[in-house]
Amino acid sequence: MKKILIIEDERYLLENIKTVLSKNNFEVYTAENGLEGYQLAEKIIPDLILCDIMMPVNDGYWVLEKVRSNPGLMIVPFVFLTAKVDRNDLRKGMELGADDYITKPFKISELLKAIQVRLEKSDTYKTIFSTTENPTVRIDKDNFLLLDIGKSIERVKINLIECIIADNVFTNLYMTDGKMIKIRKPLTEWEELLPDKIFVRIHRAVIINLDYVNKLKNGSIKQ
Please write the tens of the pLDDT for every residue from 106-165: 999 999 999 998 898 777 666 554 444 444 566 766 677 777 655 456 778 888 888 999
CATH of range 3-130; options 3.40.50.2300, 3.40.50.300, 2.40.110.10, 3.10.450.50: 3.40.50.2300
In this prediction, residue 145 carries a pLDDT of 78
pLDDT averaged over the chain? 82
User: Residues near 121 by Cβ (< 8 Å), separated by ≥ 6?
Assistant: 77, 99
Burial track 60-88 (b if 16+ CB lie within 10 A, e otherwise)? bbbbbebbbebeebbbbbbbbbbebeeee
Rounded to the nearest angstrom, the gap between the alpha carbon of residue 5 and the centroid of all alpha carbons in its chain is: 15
Nearest alpha carbon to residue 170 among 159, 160, 181: 181
Domain chopping of the chain, boundaries: 3-130, 137-218
pLDDT digits (tens, 9 = 90+) for 26-55: 999 999 999 999 999 999 999 999 999 988
Beta strands 48-52 and 3-7, pairing class: parallel
Name the CATH topology of 137-218: OB fold (Dihydrolipoamide Acetyltransferase, E2P) (2.40.50)
